[in-house]
Structure 1
Amino acid sequence: MKLSTLTDIYQKLDATTKRLEMIDILVELFELTPLEEMRAVIYLTSGKICADYIGLELGFADKMVIKAIAKSIGKAESEVNKLFKKKGDLGEVAEKLIGQTGQQQLGAFFTPNEKSETGELTVDDVWDILNKIALIEGKGANQKKTNLLLGLYSKATPIEAKYITRIVLSQLRLGIKDLTIIEALSRKYGDGKESRKIIEHAYNVTSDIGTIGDILASKGMEAIKKIEISVGRPIRMMAAQRMPTAEEIIEKLGGSCALEFKYDGERVQAHINGDGIKLYSRNLNEISEMYPDVTAALKRSLKSSQVIVEGEITAWDPDNERLKSFQILMSRKRKYGIEDAMEKIPVRVFLFDILYKDGESLLNKSYPERRVVLESLIKDDPVIVLASREVVSSPDEFVEYFEKAIESGCEGVMAKDIRKETQYQAGSRGFLWIKHKFDYSSAFNDSYDFVVVGGFYGKGRRKGTLGTILMAAYNAEEERFETVCKLGTGFTDEDLIKVTKDLMSISVEKKPKDVISKLDADVWVVPEKVYEIQGADLSISPVHTCALDEIKKDTGLAIRFPRFIRFRDDKKPELATTTSEVVDAFKKQRLRSG
């Protein structure tokens, strides 16, 4: 498949913000894609070269790409950098400069052993080179990577150079998310909603959209139906809904429920296969190297040799038998000095679920059945313990256990449905699990995790920083981010320095196409940072776009008097608070206020 065919499709995707149009364009792309190239095309269109959990990165910084562009056109890096500062997009810089130079002239700037073969680039060419780049390590790695990129530029048209540049910088930004690809695949290879459910389930248990597309293209729907859990390959984690009162939660869960402590730590999915243990975060990043004490404890504390369990890693004070804060635990997240961090910050892991045991998937077992299996597996151990749990049948019992959780240093409780049809819903956020937290200093019953989409420059003592941040909820149905508040309270001076540094590193010239905003931010950013916030209440807003037109025409919903609580680096933007959750909270707030 010619690369130009793929980049023609990318131009069509770039030209629309409508999800249905994107799906139609993707179906067209899949019609054009040879079976053997489906995996590569899907990965590239997703802006990556492999499944996220594999953690393979290209490792290009702006400076490396600027050097490659400059060398490919025979001009000074300063000239490329000047245009970059003006445009803010190295993809557009590459397109313009290579277009001005002329593709046929590029070979003149290479020494004989650097010149690439003539001919048009193919998807396979790019795919092979990108995989070679990702595997380069050690001394001289940056130069070797730059040389391989030069080889691509030497054969690329201006449009191809634009998208190659964006891909190597992980800045493709077509607005395509995995669920959009799943919808397009179900239309191409399936026969309706039932097919989509099957494909989505396969994706949720493999966490690999490229593999799903490859199997569909080469073997069809019957092969997708046969996909099973594989130990060592993470399962997309089940998430909880939220409700404000004990009465509502108990009623929703059928009159009684199991309550577990909601620990303030890092969620982990542990895959144990004999002596091999892999730990995955909520974002499906492998974190095994950061917690060697956890892997060692799992080896000695579980009675089965092949299991997948979930729990919460917490910072633990062994002298006082107390939980420590999430912020303290996050200082364990490092590549170096791990032994020292283990000594300074001991951890305890509270296990709360099991998904697989000795060749058998437990996803379709009820929550009570899974809990019994989990309890039977754990040996007595100071690091690996069961999450505290109690079944309650009244609001009074609920509140009593909730207060016990707060006194123990937890952030609240997780209520779980104990009826028969309570399977583990991989990759889904439903009402089988309901979280309940409370901040006694706020009228809000809960905190919310919103996504940063932009910022406004500070004034006075905040001059030189982004003093106010534009936050958004995630609309899971439309796969877009809708503004919900401007956040400027709760930050320390140190926080604002970090915020400004973090956000400027992901700033973009134009508003991202998956951000819906009536406001014009001073700085737009790629929507990938998640902050936890609280506020006074929710209100109708003519300014913000969260649930626009859903409650009242031409208005959205907004958080009043928001304040920053903490950074949520453990969450992807797609795991942030959703628009539907904000709408539900607003409706319940109205009912309570009469």
Structure 2
Amino acid sequence: MTEILCNAFRTVIATTPGNLLATVYLTANKIAPPHEGLELGIGEASLVKALAEAYGRKEEHVKKQNSELGDLGLVAKASRSTQRLMFQPKPLTIDKVFSAFLAIAKQLLESHSFDKYPFTIPNSKDVSFIVFKRPIMVMAFDLLWCKESGANSHDKKKNHIKGLLVAATECEPLYITRLLQSKMRIGLAEKTVLVALGQAAAYSETCPNPPLQTQSPLEEVGVPIGPMLAKPTKAVSEIIDKFQGMEFTCEYKYDGERAQIHYMEDGSVEIYSRNAEWNTGKYPDVVSSISREKFIPAICKPTNSSSAVLFKKDTAKSFVLDCEIVAYDHEKQKILPFQVLSTRARKGVILSGIKVTVCTFAFDILYINGQPLLQEQLKVRRQHLYSSFEEVPGVFQFATATITNDVEEIQKFLEAAVNSSCEGLIIKTLDKDATYEPSKRSNNWLKLKKDYMESIGDSLDLVPIAAFHGRGKRTGVYGSFLLACYDEQNEEYQTICNIGTGFSESQLEERSASLRNKVIPTPKPYYRYADTVNPDVWFEPAEVWEVKAADLSISPVHRAASGIVYPNKGISLRFPRLVHVRDDKSPEQATTSDQVADMYRAQKINHANNHEEEDDD
């Protein structure tokens, strides 16, 4: 696959280099970087309508065929193959398709701009205005002044889709439809695209066009990078063994939302999630505590005087911080659980309407005053962090940390972290192999949670794809759910367990109500499950649940990591329990089958029944 893709990129570079950027984005099933907030994700109902009109079919017939085939792309291909053409349409080009996708995304942004971005029309009673640098955000702002009616915008979007479908031939309707749904289903992982692009650039006599030249991370403030992640560990003794002879530090692991805060020299601020999604509109209070006051209108100044205090020193002209934003009770001066933070609106938050207040805990700095720090050791990065900022209690604080290699002291520090409403500890090397590794789950960062010592280690983020009707006291709600991990290579969801215990009545009602509108008549063709699994209903992959379990075992029934660890068998979870719903993750960002296999291998003791021919659910 890499070779095929590399040769395709080389061909584009040699013949039409101006199309390389669009080619790479379409191959990766994207139209822009995540931080631009520009996506397609067209709803199935809109696609059905456009497809029916483009190919002269009735909507009910399209819906029926979609239920039979389980893939709207296949329906589009079949519809085109049976349609008679009076004349041959002009061939589609990369540029034409990509331009149409951008136009569709513009219509979507137009119709949702009031909901997605924290702008309101001037002279309204509560204005929340934030300064942006990127063109897409400026476009979002401009669109507010020429915003068309929803119906007109919808018609324009539909016409763009129809234009593509009418011009598409052979297999093109299949992939155009899937691209519009952001579900290519060709088994092509993004990492493969990047490797192929790198090889193509190396082999080609001329380099790719400037937008695609590989830049060192954080050469430009305002463009996020993937955060460094930690690997789970189950015991303090394991930490001592792994970091033997090295100086390391222990930090509190806060139960909040990972944030990368970018501060530009002009005083503007951008906040990104761990997935590089734009989160500035979710945390205007954090923005206001960093920005120079001239960028915050008087009407938007926080009423809490403490949050008006700037925590950055005058010497910090531009920076990028790695932080955790947590819910915080200012009266009691205590951290609140993640469940409280999750009740905060995800976008368009207005300062005067904030009910869930937060505190920012900084634990790393990646850039300061024009100087990237990724290649510096953690000890050096910490010096920059501590010298460039001052703590403001309840608003901005440094992550609580200690330096020790004493087992008892680490154990006491872990207990102190848990008593402070934290999840546990993050242990990091300080001055050896201690550079910042973006988008990598590194062996040089370990995480230790209190409940890790009683279970498999890390939790899993899984997708509910089916359910069984409840009986007895659970009549009227779903009694248990079928969960799946995600296989990146094959782009499929693989079952890993049934979960039905540990739910309160209110939780069951809430989860059942949330999933009822996701019910589909038949399982998706990219669901992998055993023939013996017969749930009462199937769901669209829509939610992500964080789940803990006692351990992992080889299963003849479930298909997670099938064939990776054990021939013709998958891996299942024993005694799974729901922790909470992950609103910050999409189904494609669920725990992967490779990660499941790694977690299974990491178990120090694999019981004999892990290899027995039985379902351990």
TM bracket (short chain)? 0.7 to 0.9
Residue 208 of structure 2: aligned partner: 217
- What SS is found at the alignment partner of 2:252? strand
Q: Is the 8 A contact 1:438 1:445 kept in 2?
A: no
Aligned equivalents of 1:389, 1:507: Cα separation in 2: 51
Q: Tell me whether 1:302 sits opposite 2:294 in the alignment.
A: no
Of residues 247, 253, 256, the one that matches 1:265 is 256
Change (3 A) 1:583 1:281: same
Residue 10 of structure 1: aligned partner: none
Q: Is the 8 A contact 1:301 1:379 kept in 2?
A: yes
Aligned equivalents of 1:507, 1:386: Cα separation in 2: 50
Aligned equivalents of 2:398, 2:422: Cα separation in 1: 15
Alpha-carbon offset, residue 73 of structure 1: 2.9
Q: Tell me whether 1:232 sits opposite 2:225 in the alignment.
A: no
Q: Is the 8 A contact 2:549 2:577 kept in 1?
A: yes
Which amino acid in structure 1 is aligned with residue 454 of structure 2? A
Alpha-carbon offset, residue 402 of structure 1: 0.4
Aligned equivalents of 2:327, 2:217: Cα separation in 1: 37
- What SS is found at the alignment partner of 2:171? helix
Q: Tell me whether 1:291 sits opposite 2:283 in the alignment.
A: yes
Residue 525 of structure 2: aligned partner: 510
Q: Is the 8 A contact 2:463 2:485 kept in 1?
A: no
Alignment of 1:165-244 (within 5 A): 165-190=177-202, 217-218=208-209, 224=214, 229-244=219-234
Q: Tell me whether 1:417 sits opposite 2:429 in the alignment.
A: yes
Change (3 A) 1:506 1:341: farther
Residue 458 of structure 1: aligned partner: 469
Of residues 56, 60, 84, the one that matches 2:38 is 56
Residue 26 of structure 2: aligned partner: 44
Which amino acid in structure 2 is aligned with residue 134 of structure 1? A
**What does the per-residue CA deviation read over 1:2-40, in whole Å, with 9 as the maximum and x for residues that have no partner?**
xxxxxxxxxxxxxxxxxxxx3233234324433221211
Residue 333 of structure 1: aligned partner: 345
Aligned equivalents of 1:550, 1:151: Cα separation in 2: 44
Q: Tell me whether 1:395 sits opposite 2:411 in the alignment.
A: no
Residue 135 of structure 1: aligned partner: 106
Of residues 223, 243, 249, the one that matches 2:239 is 249
Of residues 576, 579, 586, the one that matches 2:596 is 579
Alpha-carbon offset, residue 325 of structure 1: 1.2
- What SS is found at the alignment partner of 1:587? coil
Residue 137 of structure 2: aligned partner: none
Q: Is the 8 A contact 1:530 1:576 kept in 2?
A: no
Alpha-carbon offset, residue 229 of structure 1: 2.5
Q: Is the 8 A contact 1:281 1:287 kept in 2?
A: yes
Q: Tell me whether 1:500 sits opposite 2:515 in the alignment.
A: yes
Which amino acid in structure 2 is aligned with residue 280 of structure 1? Y
Aligned equivalents of 2:391, 2:217: Cα separation in 1: 35
Q: Is the 8 A contact 1:507 1:526 kept in 2?
A: no
Alpha-carbon offset, residue 308 of structure 1: 0.4
Q: Is the 8 A contact 1:270 1:278 kept in 2?
A: yes
Of residues 333, 336, 359, the one that matches 1:348 is 359
Which amino acid in structure 2 is aligned with residue 366 of structure 1? Q
Aligned equivalents of 2:601, 2:381: Cα separation in 1: 30
Change (3 A) 1:226 1:550: closer
Which amino acid in structure 1 is aligned with residue 550 of structure 2? A
Residue 384 of structure 1: aligned partner: 396
Aligned equivalents of 2:493, 2:207: Cα separation in 1: 30
Alpha-carbon offset, residue 488 of structure 1: 2.5
**What does the per-residue CA deviation read over 1:559-584, in whole Å, with 9 as the maximum and x for residues that have no partner?**
21111111122245447371354134
Residue 98 of structure 1: aligned partner: 80
Residue 125 of structure 1: aligned partner: 96
Alpha-carbon offset, residue 360 of structure 1: 0.8
Higher mean alpha-carbon deviation, 240-249 vs 161-170, is at 161-170
Change (3 A) 1:546 1:395: farther
Give the unaligned 5+ runs of structure 2.
111-146, 292-309, 611-617
Which amino acid in structure 2 is aligned with residue 77 of structure 1? E
Q: Is the 8 A contact 2:185 2:491 kept in 1?
A: no
Q: Is the 8 A contact 2:552 2:571 kept in 1?
A: yes
Q: Is the 8 A contact 2:560 2:571 kept in 1?
A: yes
Change (3 A) 1:189 1:135: same
Structure that is richer in helix per residue: 1
Q: Is the 8 A contact 1:484 1:558 kept in 2?
A: yes
Q: Tell me whether 1:162 sits opposite 2:184 in the alignment.
A: no
Aligned equivalents of 1:470, 1:28: Cα separation in 2: 41
Which amino acid in structure 1 is aligned with residue 226 of structure 2? R
- What SS is found at the alignment partner of 2:276? coil
Change (3 A) 1:385 1:103: farther
Alignment of 1:59-74 (within 5 A): 60-74=42-56
**What does the per-residue CA deviation read over 1:300-320, in whole Å, with 9 as the maximum and x for residues that have no partner?**
211212100011110001111
- What SS is found at the alignment partner of 2:226? coil
Aligned equivalents of 1:555, 1:75: Cα separation in 2: 43
Higher mean alpha-carbon deviation, 558-567 vs 450-459, is at 450-459
Higher mean alpha-carbon deviation, 62-71 vs 136-145, is at 62-71
Alpha-carbon offset, residue 172 of structure 1: 2.1
Alpha-carbon offset, residue 364 of structure 1: 0.7
The alignment's C-alpha RMSD in Å is: 3.3
| Equivalent residue pairs, number | 533
Aligned equivalents of 1:563, 1:216: Cα separation in 2: 51
Aligned equivalents of 1:148, 1:547: Cα separation in 2: 40
Q: Is the 8 A contact 1:455 1:521 kept in 2?
A: no
- What SS is found at the alignment partner of 1:327? helix
**What does the per-residue CA deviation read over 1:539-592, in whole Å, with 9 as the maximum and x for residues that have no partner?**
33333444555655444433211111111222454473713541343235669x
Give the unaligned 5+ runs of structure 1.
1-21, 107-117, 192-212
**What does the per-residue CA deviation read over 1:47-105, in whole Å, with 9 as the maximum and x for residues that have no partner?**
22111221112363222222222222334333333333333322222222232222437
Aligned equivalents of 2:485, 2:68: Cα separation in 1: 31
Residue 543 of structure 1: aligned partner: 557
Residue 282 of structure 1: aligned partner: 274
Change (3 A) 1:503 1:425: farther
Q: Is the 8 A contact 2:230 2:441 kept in 1?
A: yes
Residue 372 of structure 2: aligned partner: 361
Q: Is the 8 A contact 2:283 2:349 kept in 1?
A: no
- What SS is found at the alignment partner of 1:104? coil
TM-score norm. by structure 1 comes to 0.81
Change (3 A) 1:588 1:218: farther
Q: Is the 8 A contact 1:454 1:521 kept in 2?
A: no
Q: Tell me whether 1:531 sits opposite 2:522 in the alignment.
A: no
Change (3 A) 1:499 1:588: farther
Q: Is the 8 A contact 1:363 1:425 kept in 2?
A: yes
Q: Is the 8 A contact 2:545 2:580 kept in 1?
A: yes
